Amino acid sequence: MRTSFFLAASENDVIGRDNDLPWHLSADLKRFKRLTSGHVVVTGRLNQDSMVSRLGRPLPGRITVVVTRDAGRPGEGPVIYQPSVSAALSVARAIEEFAGGDEVFVLGGAQIFAEALPEADTIHLTRVHAQVEGDVRMPAGWLSGFTLVESEPGPEGEELPYTFERYERR
């Protein structure tokens, strides 16, 4: 079972600002949908709340396992609550395997990424080519132990220039 991260980060490793993304990159959102649809995703509660606020509902076409201290919350649609990253990954992997899949995606935020990092096999990174102000960033050295295996420039005409990158654990 592959554990993959999916995230966008600026050159200074910012991934969020005011509980939202600090940019809107339409090709990145399409890539996110293409790669994660039909899979189980793991995310933190604040990240989940931000996505639901933006979409008006949980992510369609995916089962979402949310890490929260309030794990007794009743599930809403395809949403399951778990009290820790390890429990969330365990549940996500079991569901993914039962459904015949072989990859779960970790969507953040920073604390979830930091705790799940030792479990990551692949990182799907959209590297935003700018120094961005924000209040959430990836931990220092987070790409240590990974090798860049694929890189493709994002389309021109977006809010900021960026590159789609894929890293694999060495």
pLDDT tens for the 170 residues of the chain, in order:
999 999 999 999 999 999 899 999 999 999 999 999 999 999 999 999 999 888 889 999 999 999 999 867 766 779 999 999 999 999 999 999 999 999 999 999 999 999 999 999 999 999 999 999 999 999 999 999 999 999 999 999 999 999 999 999 99
Top-level CATH class of 2-169? alpha beta
Cα gap 15→7, rounded to integer Å: 8
pLDDT (0 to 100) of residue 53: 87
Query: Which residue, among 40, 43, 44, 48, has the nearest Cα to 94 in the 3D structure?
Result: 40
pLDDT (0 to 100) of residue 25: 95
pLDDT (0 to 100) of residue 18: 93
The answer to whether 17 and 133 have CB atoms below 8 angstroms apart is: yes
Cα gap 164→115, rounded to integer Å: 24
User: Backbone phi, then psi, for 97, in 5-degree steps?
Assistant: -65, -45
DSSP helix, strand, coil percent of the chain (3-state; round to 5): 25, 35, 40
Residue 63 bridge partners (DSSP): 40
pLDDT (0 to 100) of residue 71: 64
Decide: pTM greater than 0.85.
Answer: yes
The domains of the chain are located at 2-169
pLDDT (0 to 100) of residue 75: 67
pLDDT (0 to 100) of residue 97: 98
Cα gap 83→35, rounded to integer Å: 26
